[in-house]
Chains A and B, each alone.
Chain A
Amino acid sequence: GAGVSQSPSNKVTEKGKDVELRCDPISGHTALYWYRQSLGQGLEFLIYFQGNSAPDKSGLPSDRFSAERTGGSVSTLTIQRTQQEDSAVYLCASSLASGRIEQYFGPGTRLTVT
């Protein structure tokens, strides 16, 4: 079956521009996570959605970052006024529920801010 998909796979943008990254989770998965993988920091949690509950935004590094999940399915991560330190691979993962459940990762979006 289809796994988690993300688009675009690569994005190069100029400093100061806004970008939108998209995640399509596995059908039926109620939990969706965004993570970031950068050279200096490794993998880090950004935000989590579970069903209709309020998202856990505790990992977002600044108010330039926001995310939404429409209809409990597709999610969009938006970065406003991008900075060079935002350059990283942004990974989306989904799972059937939360907690002690395996997460399935998408291929990631590689963001380069020039």
Chain B
Amino acid sequence: KNEVEQSPQNLTAQEGEFITINCSYSVGISALHWLQQHPGGGIVSLFMLSSGKKKHGRLIATINIQEKHSSLHITASHPRDSAVYICAVSGGGSNYKLTFGKGTLLTVNP
């Protein structure tokens, strides 16, 4: 079983829809990261969080430490949001390296 599980693996939405991507992890962590990768593009860090909720524009990330679960929400989705969204965790203590989920491929149709 992977240490970081994402769902769904693929997601297709219509422009304007509210999007939720889920991430569950099975290890102790110091932080959880949400990353974005456009086709053929590099990886961009969207959020890093260890508790609560963060918001940036139309993106919202939440984490529940007790339940070892995080969600990434996109409000008023747009075709330019089409990308792979990757959840990653950095371990507890001084463990710094990222362990990644397999990613969620989001396609937003106009």
Pair from one complex: yes
A residues neighboring B (CB under 8 Å) = 31, 33, 35, 42-45, 48, 50, 56, 59, 91, 93, 98-108
Which one, B31, B43, B103, contacts A105 given CB within 8 A?
A: B43
Say yes or no for B18: interface residue by CB 8 A criterion.
Answer: no
B residues neighboring A (CB under 8 Å) = 30-31, 33, 35, 42-45, 48, 50, 86, 88, 90, 94, 96-103
Number of A-B contacts (CB under 8 A): 52
Given contacts A42-B103, A100-B31, A100-B90, whether A33 and B42 have CB atoms under 8 Å apart is no
A42 near B100 (CB under 8 angstroms)? yes
Helix, strand, loop or mixed for chain A's interface?
strand
CB of A92 to closest CB in B, whole Å: 11
Report Cα–Cα, A42/B85, bound state, in Å: 12
Given contacts A42-B102, A43-B88, A103-B33, whether A31 and B96 have CB atoms under 8 Å apart is yes
Report Cα–Cα, A99/B31, bound state, in Å: 8
Which one, A56, A91, A99, A101, contacts B43 given CB within 8 A?
A: A91
B42 near A108 (CB under 8 angstroms)? yes
B97 near A56 (CB under 8 angstroms)? yes
For B30, list chain A residues within 8 Å (CB): 99-100
CB of B47 to closest CB in A, whole Å: 9
Among B88, B96, B98, residue most surrounded by chain A Cβ atoms (within 10 Å) = B96
For B102, list chain A residues within 8 Å (CB): 42
